[in-house]
Chains A and B, each alone.
Chain A
Amino acid sequence: MVLARGLEKRFGDFVAVDRVDFEIAAGESFGFLGPNGAGKTSTMRMISCMSPVTAGVLRVLGMDPATDGPAIRARIGLVPQEDTLDLELTVLDNLMVYGRYFDLPRKVIRERAMRLLEFAQLTERANDRVDPLSGGMKRRLTIARSLISEPDLLILDEPTTGLDPQARHLLWDRLYRLKQQGVTLVITTHYMDEAEQLCDRLVVMDRGRFAAEGSPRELIERYSTKEVVELRFGSGEHEAVEERLKDAATRTEVLPDRLLLYTSDGDAALAEVHRRGLAPESALVRRSTLEDVFLHLTGRTLVD
């Protein structure tokens, strides 16, 4: 579906995407994980033919974005980072107008719109203006709108940023259904739980480059331990405590508000902490996540 070789995007002297290679297969759900400014959106914009490629090769659906932009975009659905809904129009009219951009007959748009509103759980709001809808509803409408052309490739740029947990879970469920129906998804996110939920395969992006690539499970296995112990001590004590626990874990990491112990057995490590006479304010044993992978690869957290 998408093939990139040495793909590069520069704005003046600033290199947003630094010669990356990737391939996305049909039916796959592919994620770009990384903090703000990592180059995810620039990559998305190039794939969706809204932003010209600076250098390298990019093929989308077998075509070249530089020459076949309209033909490619006709088969792509885009959910941009910021909603571009028309707030003054009704929910249904937003779908109608968008369908016209793809030159679909009104009757076809109406049929699809009804089905999509059902899918996005917005049927009751069909004739309401968009403006007063909640953030989650607007996001679902944007996704519904991007599906009006029945795209082969759906590109979602941070689909759930700024939504409350309930709204996010509903969206994930809808995206999961699309995936099951064979729609190829390309997702950017800075939430590791989102990436774990939705992506078959992902790349961790940092400063325009790929820091790692693989399935969520592979990445965790390769770059992290099975479990993590999160310890919270008084502020400023973490560095000192880290010294005393270096040999009690495979790896340790100090964050502004906590100390992380990477280990294959979290409970055993925690017991060792107590045995050494340390009394953390709070302690939590959990499984490793992509956040830990990212932290390990870049030394930074995803949401900064």
Chain B
Amino acid sequence: MSLGGQAVSPVAGAHRSGEVGREAGRRRRARPLWLRSYSYWSYQYKRIWRSSITTSFLYPLLYLAAMGVGLGSLIDKHVHHVGGFGYLDYVAPGLLAATAMQIGANEAMYPVMGAIKWYRSYFAMLATPIRVIDVLRGHLAWIATRVALVSAIYLVVIAAFGVIHSPLAVLALPAAVAAGMAFAAPIAAFAATQDKDVGFTTIYRFVLVPLFLFSGTFFPVSELPGWLRPIAYATPLYHGVSLCRGLVLGTASLWPAVGDAAYLVVVAAVGYRLARATFTKRLVL
């Protein structure tokens, strides 16, 4: 075996001492562990952001055009709206919350299961200083970032449509993030227990699509049959929609808005606790 020739040394001592010296000079503060796992997802995103634009952004815009502008002009001819708001004004903030839900849910399904089963990226992280709790926090923080990015752009677009009626609309951004996380956290908890994607299809068919249609996004929940209304009120999306709508249109009153926000935060927090348990169960052998 010839070991002479090329002097390739991966752990050269000289390099090491040099680096230590420089680092000490700069006195870097250690990055929080969750932020390190977060950086994985941001690296990933650099590669896929183009394709993600379609699902996370183009679809809600198409809905906005079809429902708000198209169907809206028909509705506005026949229906007198209180406060002078048209149907576009009604549906646009609702779609903001619905989009937040969609992205939050999406990002918590396949990416979470994939990071356990297919790409094993969670396990790669766990071989480094990162702990299970950091894996979870980093991923949820990344999902929140994704929801925030799309919501921010969406708010700018609906502003161009003239839908923003109040400075309170700025608060619709955190409201949308809360709505997204109220789905992302519990769904991540569920995804960490899954080996196949049939569960996700079920969530889509029986949870997300019905919520999208019947949580007050396109028409008031008060139009639903009486027995369905309590179910609608119990869903996080209903609270996300009414909160976003109240903030964007400036019709929100303090306590109901606080109630909606608190509901979303509680659901997200419960989901986070569940996810802590399911992540630990799945990732610690």
Residues of A whose CB lies within 8 Å of any CB of B are 11, 45, 48, 50-52, 69-71, 73-74, 76, 78, 80, 82-89, 93, 96-98, 100-103, 105, 108, 111-112, 115-116, 118-119, 144, 146-147, 149-150, 173, 176-178, 180-181, 183
Contacts and interface: CB of A to CB of B under 8 A. Distances in A.
B128 A119 contact: no
B121 A103 contact: no
A103 B10 CA distance: 19
B44 to A, nearest CB: 7
Contacts of B165: none
Nearest 9 A-B pairs (CB), nearest first?
A84-B124, A101-B128, A70-B129, A78-B127, A84-B120, A119-B10, A74-B129, A100-B39, A119-B8
B15 interface: yes
A112 B9 CA distance: 10
Interface in B233-249: none
Given A115-B10, A115-B15, A147-B10, 4 more contacts: A69-B131, A97-B40, A100-B39, A119-B10
A10 B121 CA distance: 26
Nearest to B12: A115
Interface residues of B, number: 36
B33 interface: yes
Name, among B9, B10, B123, B284, the residue most crowded by chain A CB atoms within 10 Å (CB to CB). B10
29 contacts: A50-B126, A51-B284, A52-B284, A69-B129, A69-B131, A70-B130, A73-B129, A76-B127, A80-B123, A82-B120, A84-B119, A84-B123, A86-B121, A97-B39, A97-B43, A100-B40, A101-B36, A101-B40, A101-B124, A101-B129, A101-B130, A102-B129, A103-B28, A103-B31, A115-B9, A116-B10, A119-B9, A119-B10, A178-B10
Nearest to B46: A93
A181 B43 contact: no
Contacts of B8: 115, 118-119, 177
B30 interface: yes
B3 interface: yes
B37 interface: yes
A101 B37 contact: yes
Nearest to A101: B128
B3 A180 contact: yes
Nearest to A145: B124
Name, among A71, A97, A102, A176, the residue most crowded by chain B CB atoms within 10 Å (CB to CB). A97
A93 B45 CA distance: 13
Contacts of A115: 8-10, 12, 15
